[in-house]
Amino acid sequence: MKINSFNRPETNPYSKQINHMEQKPRTERIEADQIEISKQAKELQQSSRYDAERKARIEQLKNQIQQGEYKVDPKKVAYSIAKYYFNQ
Q: Quick check: pTM over 0.85?
A: no
Cβ neighbours of residue 42 closer than 8 Å, sequence gap 6 or more? none
| pLDDT tens column, 15-72 | 666 555 555 566 666 778 888 889 888 887 777 777 888 899 999 999 999 999 999 9
Q: Can you state the percent helix, strand and coil of the chain, rounding each to 5? A: 60, 0, 40
